[in-house]
Structures are given as structure tokens and as C-alpha cells.
Amino acid sequence: MAIVSLREALNQAMDEEMARDERVFLMGEEVAQYNGAYKVSQGLLQKYGAKRILDTPIAEAGFAGVGIGAAMVGLRPIVEFMTWNFSLVAYDQLVNNAAKMYSMSGGHFHVPIVFRGPGGAAHNLAATHSQALESIYAHIAGLKVIAPSTQKDAKGLLKSAIRDENPVIFIESEVMYGEKGEIPEGEYTIPIGVGEVKKEGTDVTIVSWSKALQHFVMKSVPELERLGINAEIVDPRTIKPMDYDLIVDSVKKTNRLVVVEESYPFAGVGAQISHEISRRAFDYLDAPVERVTQEDVPLPYNSKLEKASLPNVEKIVRAVRKVMYMD
């Protein structure tokens, strides 16, 4: 397998899909001349030209709307937000146009568009630039939401998202762009809505995704093993539609569940997972579901306060100990 960074995996996905289908194009702030704010679109302007790699003004509502219109008439846009925090400026476009057009047109207009860019906290970017927004987009009927945690998943899922006939919200992690991992050789896609067990285990199921999985959950494994706890780690990969069957099967084996996410606790994705597991696997639970989230505060700018507000290994171990009745 090839070893590539997350930004290279995403770049390969867009490159391959643009070569495969001339209707695919990329638009966003600094995606062309500057090769992308995070260099995800490196080299694509030189390869495909200014008609398919388009720099836009700093006007998210405007270029999101242009992308939606292009998708309605048969093109397949990829719209990059410099950060998902800026997507809030275009929230009306995503919610009231992209998500609802197929239904409100009686099936006459598909909207095959991908909105992608970095989400969640990076390092000391303060509250307005550090939000994990997957729950507010997953709440909207008509949108699919993807949050990959590995290079392999990022490439395979982005290719599937570009080929999908419906609008897809694709949330990446800014701090993972330079991190490297394996991807398969040659052409491959990963189906939307299919999760994966990242680590087999027997004592407790931990569900997480994106940076929270890689930077917090996986780093908690050695400490859990030191305590004699063998955790099974499940990555849904797609937030909506979610592979609940995979999580249910894991909980039936381990009888305990901890959900770790980077977003706020109230009405978070973890709350929905908790509901579904309580409904589908209640008799298998030996303890109430525990959640580890960002604290219910705007994320502080101060480095120590930022770290204290986000999930971490200590909080995850504490939650696991609780469901294991070790405290």
C-alpha cells in the first residue's frame, strides 16, 4: 500500500474523479492559484485549467449557491469551504436549497454536490473557528454527512461522495492534513453509510470518528490495556446515514458503550447514537451509555483551556471505567 498524507489522499480522490468525469469541478476560496488554503488542491489548476478549478470571492453564500445551481443543471461541483465555520454564512443555501431541492421539485432536480473542508478544533483558533458542526448538518433531511478518520477512508469516501446524486457534507480535520497513512493501490471507493471496526475488543465499545478517534480514542488504548480493558473501537465514518447495525453488533458483544465526539454535548451525534442503542440493544447493555464531548462552552483561545475543554485520554478512560463499574 502507498503511504500518503490526508491532504494527498483527498487530492488523489478529486484528481481521479475529475479525470473520470468532465462534469466534476472544484470551486472555493484560494483553491486555484494558491493551491488551496491547506494545499489539498495542489496541482489541479495546472492539470485541469481555470474552467474546472475556480477561485471564488470571500462570499460563501454566493459560491455555495452557484454550486447548487450548477449541480441542478447536470454538473458535479465540489465546493470547498476554507473552514466549516464559514459554512454558517451559507447555511440557508445548504439547508433550504441543496438539501430540499430534490424533494421540493418532485424528483426533477438532483443536486449532486459535495461541500468539503476542515472542521472541528485545530490549535488556538478560538471559538468561532473551532466548531465541530456535523450534528447540525446531520439534523437536516436531504443531506449526507461524512467525517473520515483515516487516509484510506478519506479517499474512498470522497470518491463515493462525488459520484453520489445527492448533496454530501464532507468534514475533514485540519490538524490531520499532514498526517500519513496507508491507502490501497489503484481504483477503490468506500460505500457511504458503512462503518468499520478499527480495533476488535471484548469489554467495551467506543464509537468515535475523525480527529476524536485518531487523536483521543486510539491514544487511550494503551492506558485501557494497562487497566486490563480490551476496547472495541467502531468508526461509523458516515454520520448520516449511520451504520447502526455495526454499533449494535459490537454492543451485543461488549455490553457497554462510550461515544466520543468533538462537538457540543446537547443534541450531539452521540445523543442520537445513545438513543438508537438504547432502543435497539437495551437488553444487552450492562451500564448506561456514556458520552465524552467538548465541554458545553465556546472553545477558549487559551491553549490550556482549549485542551481542558476538548475530549482527551483522561476523560475517555474515566468514562470507560464508569461503564465498567471500576470507580
Confidence of residue 253 (pLDDT cuts 50, 70, 90): very high
Residue 1 has pLDDT above 90, yes or no: no
Report whether pLDDT(229) > 90: yes
Q: Do domains 2-183 and 196-323 have the same CATH topology?
A: yes
Residue 132's pLDDT is: 96
d(CA 257, CA 141): 27
Helix (H, G, I), strand (E, B) or coil at 207: strand
Summarize pLDDT for 186-217 with one digit per residue, the tens.
999 999 999 999 999 999 999 999 999 999 99
Note the pLDDT of residue 17: 98
pLDDT at residue 138 above 90? yes
pLDDT for 184 equals: 95
Q: pLDDT-based confidence at 270, cuts 50/70/90?
A: very high
Determine the average pLDDT of the residues in 63-81. Answer: 98
Supply the pLDDT for residue 194.
98
Q: Give yes or no for a contact between 239 and 271, defined as CB atoms under 8 angstroms apart.
A: no
Please give the grid coordinates belonging to residue 269.
Answer: 451525534
Q: How far apart are CA 271 and CA 196, in angstroms?
A: 20
pLDDT for the residue 51: 96
- 3-state DSSP assignment of residue 305: helix
Task: Tell which CATH classification among 3.40.50.1000, 3.30.110.60, 3.30.470.30, 3.40.50.920 matches the domain 196-323.
Answer: 3.40.50.920
Domain ranges of the chain: 2-183, 196-323
Tell me which DSSP letter residue 56 carries: -
pLDDT tens track for 49-64: 999 999 999 999 999 9
Q: Which residues contact 167 (CB under 8 A, 6 or more apart)?
A: 68, 71, 94, 98, 99, 111, 112, 113, 114, 115, 142, 143, 144
Flag whether pLDDT at 256 surpasses 90.
yes
Which helix (H) or strand (E) segment is 196 a member of?
strand 196-199
Q: Over the stretch 90-133, which tens digit does the pLDDT of each residue have?
A: 999 999 999 999 999 999 999 999 999 999 999 999 999 999 99
When pLDDT is averaged across residues 315-323 and rounded to a whole number, the result is 98
Residue 16 has pLDDT above 90, yes or no: yes
Residue 290: helix, strand or coil by DSSP?
strand
Q: Which residues contact 245 (CB under 8 A, 6 or more apart)?
A: none
How would CATH label the architecture of 2-183? 3-Layer(aba) Sandwich (3.40)
pLDDT at 36: 96
Alpha carbons 286 and 309: distance in angstroms, whole number? 29
Helix or strand run (H / E) with residue 77: strand 76-80
What residues are annotated to the active site? 60, 129
Q: What pLDDT, on the 0 to 100 scale, is given for residue 327?
A: 83
